[in-house]
Amino acid sequence: MNRDWSPFRICGPDERPLYSRDLHTLEGVGDRLRTAAFAEIQAREAFLWAAEVFPDASDDLKRSWKNLAHAEQKHLTWLLTRMNELGLDVAERPMGLGLWHSLMKCTTAREFAIYIANAEERGRKAGVKFEQSLREADPVSAEIFGKIAEEEIAHIELALKYFPDAQLQMLG
């Protein structure tokens, strides 16, 4: 299944994503913004995909996933706008499709919901960390990471709404 990942550059088959540079540099902030933005586009596409492919998902869950895709697009826009404001090139460093490939292996709505909720929780925790780390050096980026982290809580809790017995690595 091919997706348009622009404006990002994707790693080649034998290439791995580069490590993020020092957070206290403009390039390092850009690496975090880029990585977060790429996670948002993968989540957006995954929610849209899931709403179409899982026959075991209720119509309400499918609608919820489509709504989450819109929220992921909003987050993506915030992050890309900030990169543009800072004069950073989104395509400067290649991104890996590990999250996307893992999500595509899910075979049920439940499996997908739990997997993406756990991925969003990892992203939420990183967002909180970046918000705290960037408060003084880059308060605008810090605020963006904080707002996204706050909104991700509802995305994560959606899995528990539909699958209350799910074991999530939640909100720690």
Q: Enumerate the domain spans of the chain.
A: 26-162
Tell if the pTM clears 0.75, that is, is over it. yes
pLDDT of residue 172: 42
Name the average pLDDT for the chain. 93
pLDDT at residue 120 in the model: 93
pLDDT band with cut points at 50, 70 and 90 for residue 142? very high
Contact between residue 90 and residue 80 where contact means Cβ atoms under 8 Å apart: yes
Q: With both helix axes pointing from N to C terminus, report the angle between 109-134 and 26-53 in degrees, rounded to the nearest 10.
A: 160
| CATH architecture of the domain formed by 26-162 | Up-down Bundle (1.20)
Give strand ranges (E) for the chain. Answer: none
How confident is the model at residue 165, as a pLDDT?
A: 84
Question: Which distant-in-sequence residues (6+ apart) come within 8 Å of 156 by Cβ?
Answer: 117, 120, 121, 124, 168, 170, 171
- Give the pLDDT of residue 169: 60
